[in-house]
Amino acid sequence: MRAEYDRDAQNAIQSLPYWPHPRPAHACRPQVVPDAATNPPAHWQAGHATAMMVHGPATAGYLSLPQRWPRLIVGVPKEIKDHETRVGVTPAGVKALVEAGHKVLVETSAGELSAFPDTEYTAAGATILPTAAEVWAKSDLIVKVKEPVPTEYEHFRDGLSLFTYLHLAPLPELTDKLLAKNVTGIAYETIRDKAGTLPLLTPMSEVAGRMSVQVGATYLQSAHGGRGQLLGGVPGVPPANVCVIGGGIVGTNAARIAMGFGAKVTIVDLNLNRLRELDDIFNGRLYTLASNSYNVAKAVEESDLVIGGVLIPGATAPKIVTREMVKRMKKGAVIVDVAIDQGGCVETAHPTTHSNPSYTEHGVVHYCVTNMPAAVPHTSTLALTNATFPYLMKLAKMGITEAIKSDHGIQDGVNTLQGKITFRGVADSQKKHYTALADLL
Ligand SMILES: NC(=O)c1ccc[n+]([C@@H]2O[C@H](COP(=O)([O-])OP(=O)(O)OC[C@H]3O[C@@H](n4cnc5c(N)ncnc54)[C@H](O)[C@@H]3O)[C@@H](O)[C@H]2O)c1
């Protein structure tokens, strides 16, 4: 990685469009000592327009270059969604961006709840700003974790790019605000890699899937309104029935942990090939069930814990578990609808927060927190930024427009551009006009 960033810094210098003085005949490109490339002096980072001197080992003298640093100003505001404790860029990410010649503005205490204090950001080369307003106003690209909340809408402006989870399908107001200000909205959750998977959803789905069983086990306890049941049972007492709906990343991780607890696990999916894989992966130790309303109704009725992990990328989740099915569930059973960030796959589910995470309806405890990984921010921030950073670096290195043009994965992530919805799932869910990204590039 380090070598790649060093190359980025060199390439940036070598691609400068003009020289302030005629080029020496022997130097077809500036000579850059590695230290200058990897640790640009402070005044490069400060964006001064004055010419700078770069050591030229071949000439044993100095060559003057025009100042173009920083290439991109990246802003990292503090997350303000309820109990959201993750942060969009870690100090390690800041260091790599700064080494590549970019400037990073971090709102004070943005990383504190993920155990990254301001001092670590400063040491990595970030500029700490006292307010979110300043970070939003001075940045070209804002990197966040969760979708902006209403108090952040006022920061939207023409020319701004936003790289974060957006989950626009169930959020028409946010969509309208992004469109009204021509914000380029690049959503983590719809970026695809070459294998067709969703690499920026995966780490958080891993966290949420594993957490869903911990949470479910807690709410099954009588003190939390549950039916007073231990997931694994004990010798002579059978284990709990856990039904996982959706056998993707959330579902697989939930199943793994539930089986670890000793529960009896059934996993439901539409995709039969996926069920075959799961049968293989878990060596027949879980039950697989094709998704249809008959099977789902029967499995849900018999379950003590139901975990919702269905996804149709970029679209509102289908209601697989109906109100009638919930009414027939055992009293004190628990539903953890992880898919709630896409509207939920259980008809009786509505979004809750970490401050007030659960409610009971038809005698069934519902836990529907839209940002579950925020409960374990240190793990989640590291897992998330491991996955987002290569894309962030590409956006910074190439510039937003060129990065979108050149990378099909990033193209899939563009949900709004130039006042248009460019992701079909969002347009269809909101019954709004869809514009193909290719028509705008
Ligand atoms: N609440 C949170 O904090 C949180 C955190 C992470 C992920 N999520 C959400 O969890 C959901 C699942 O994410 P994922 O990464 O596991 O997605 P995924 O694409 O890996 O898996 C989704 C699965 O749902 C299956 N599916 C689709 N329609 C179905 C149907 N009708 N019946 C049964 N199965 C069906 C698909 O075949 C697929 O296997 C998403 O909505 C995601 O946004 C929420």
Domain closes at, from 357, 375, 393: 375
- Mutation test residue for ligand 1: of 250, 293, 296, the one with most atoms within 8 Å of CB: 250
Residues 30 and 89 in one domain: no
368 C-beta closer than 6 A to ligand 1: no
Residues 134 and 212 in one domain: no
* Position in ligand 1 atom list of the atom nearest CA 342: 41
For tokens 């578990």, name the residue: 321
Question: Please, what are the averages of pLDDT over each run of 10 residues along the chain (441 residues)?
Answer: 37 33 32 35 35 31 42 96 92 97 98 96 98 98 97 97 95 98 97 93 95 98 98 98 98 98 98 97 96 98 98 87 98 98 95 96 97 92 96 96 96 98 96 97 91
Residues 227 and 359 in one domain: yes
- State the amino acid at position 217 in one-letter form: A
Q: HSE on the CB side for 440, CA within 13 Å?
A: 20
Residues 433 and 331 in one domain: no
Residues 240 and 366 in one domain: yes
Four-point Cα dihedral 73, 439, 421, 430, nearest 10: -170
Residues 367 and 310 in one domain: yes
Q: Please give the tally of structural domains in the chain.
A: 3
pLDDT for position 42: 39
Q: Catalytic residue numbers?
A: 167, 341
Q: What is the pLDDT of residues 114-138, one digit of tens each?
A: 999 999 999 999 999 999 999 999 9
The alpha carbon of 17 and the centre of ligand 1 are apart by a number of angstroms equal to 47
The alpha carbon of 298 and the centre of ligand 1 are apart by a number of angstroms equal to 21
Count of beta carbons in the 10 Å neighbourhood of residue 123: 12
270 C-beta closer than 6 A to ligand 1: yes
248 C-beta closer than 6 A to ligand 1: yes
Residues of the domain holding 346: 202-375
Residues 33 and 180 in one domain: no
pLDDT-above-90 percentage for the chain: 80
Residues 343 and 261 in one domain: yes
For tokens 């090939």, name the residue: 273
Residue closest via CA to ligand 1's atom 37 equals 271
CA gap 418, 189 in Å, rounded: 20
CA gap 406, 408 in Å, rounded: 7
307 C-beta closer than 6 A to ligand 1: no
Residues 395 and 370 in one domain: no
Whether the pTM exceeds 0.85: the reply is no
114 C-beta closer than 6 A to ligand 1: no
Residues 6+ apart with CB under 8 A from 277: none
